[in-house]
Amino acid sequence: MTYELDRRTRRDEDRRFITPAAFFAETFPGLAATHGHLVAEGMAALDAPPLTLEVEGAAWTLSRVGDTIEVRHGPADGALRIALTAEQFSDWAQNQITFNGFLVMRALQVLEGQIRDVSVWDSLWIALLEGWPVTDMRLAFRDRHGVPLDLAAAFAPDDDPADIAHFLREAGYLHLKGWLNPADLARISADMDRALPHYSEGDGKSWWATLKDGARCCVRLQDFVDHSPTTAAILSGPTWDRLRRIVAGQDVLAEVPVEGRVIEALFKPLGVASGPSDVSFHRDCHLGRHAYVCSRLTIGIPLTATPGDNGGLRVVAGSHRVAMPVEIAKTRPYLPVVALCAQAGDLTVHLSCTLHEATPPVFAERQVMYTEIPLAPRAGAVGPMDTSVGEIRDRMDDIHRAAAD
């Protein structure tokens, strides 16, 4: 079966205020009948506790019963206890925001339980809402002809486009080898250095981190395309257009204007002590809105080599097909972890649902750019595509600075 990028099942215009009483009486029974077995399997495999939700003085507990789950009024001993406001519950019940999204905002009340349990229940909840299995030990990786996939494969520009598109859908990522001219990337690296004085901490268009010696360092430049004609030329050139058409396959991707925040330029300095620089395993939809926008494609353009012994991008193969909890990916992943050891001129691609991380440099600073290609708007869609989650991401630098104070 060909895996489709478009996993959108919800529309912003259908959002409404949902109370816990209405959700558990009207919506939950159907979800449990359809997807309850996936939640029960995940709870058993990951030894997950029940979940007690407390909302404005009332409590509901979700528990595994045989091969499904049930809900009952009241708390339960040994449960993960989460307190939500009525507004938070409504957003959470519609996949607008996850527990992790509330955590990042420093707005989640964990009354009892561990961060591991919070992460596991983020995955169990998406399994209930969307039918995304948390565990699947039978997961296989096959090429278009049924042969086991080489998860370390890299694709050159003249490789079969159908093989490239299939690999992306099967594994959740790509390593594209030799697609860009390294001389252009050297010019872009110089553009980053020249652009840096135009950014300052707190300007709303850059992210900053603290080094081990206490110095503050810029790690991310937004609106960078305005400072780099070479970057603009790549994003509007024939190679990029061909790449876009190849990865789209049978799906339809949006046309992205080459302007504003179309691309971000990242410095990866040595010795980062805190701040939003090298982020451990996460999904781009982990803050929420998976059912509204996934799968988006993120394309990385390394400006310096990432040979593996100096850090770089790592992905969990197949994690767009199995909702492995983020905290499990950090400690005991049950799917293959692959390092994408790219050279200047290579590209990386990962889906917004694919677990990925940036490991810190060891002996030399790295530079890389990232840009995103979303799916084309759905027929009849109205209004903006991003709401609270997009705002959270834009505020990440402020959030990290506040946490450090």
Task: Convert the pLDDT of each residue in 237-283 to its tens digit.
Answer: 999 999 999 999 999 999 999 999 999 999 999 999 988 888 899 99
pLDDT of res. 400: 47
Asked whether 256 and 297 are in contact (CB, 8 A), the reply is no
Predicted structure pTM score: 0.93
Dist. CA 194–CA 24, nearest whole Å: 56
80: pLDDT strictly greater than 90 = yes
Residue 118 pLDDT exceeds 70: yes
pLDDT digits (tens, 9 = 90+) for 163-211: 999 999 999 999 999 999 999 999 999 999 999 999 999 999 999 999 9
User: What are the residues whose beta carbons fall under 8 Å from the beta carbon of 332, sequence distance 6 or more?
Assistant: none
Domain ranges of the chain: 12-130, 161-404
- How many percent of the chain have pLDDT more than 70? 93
What is the spatial distance between Cα 303 and Cα 295, in angstroms, rounded to a whole number? 25
Whether domain 12-130 has CATH 3.30.1050.10: yes
Distance CA 7, CA 298 (A): 16
Instruction: Inform me whether the pLDDT recorded for 100 exceeds 60.
Output: yes
Check if CATH label 2.60.120.620 holds for domain 161-404: yes
Q: What's the pLDDT score for residue 309?
A: 84
Q: Maximum distance among all alpha carbons in the chain?
A: 64
Of 131, 140, 114, 133, give the one whose Cα is nearest residue 43: 133
Specify the pLDDT at position 392: 56
CA distances to 9, 143, 179, 333 from 315, in Å? 25, 19, 20, 11
Query: pLDDT for 150-172, tens place per residue?
Result: 999 999 999 999 999 999 999 99
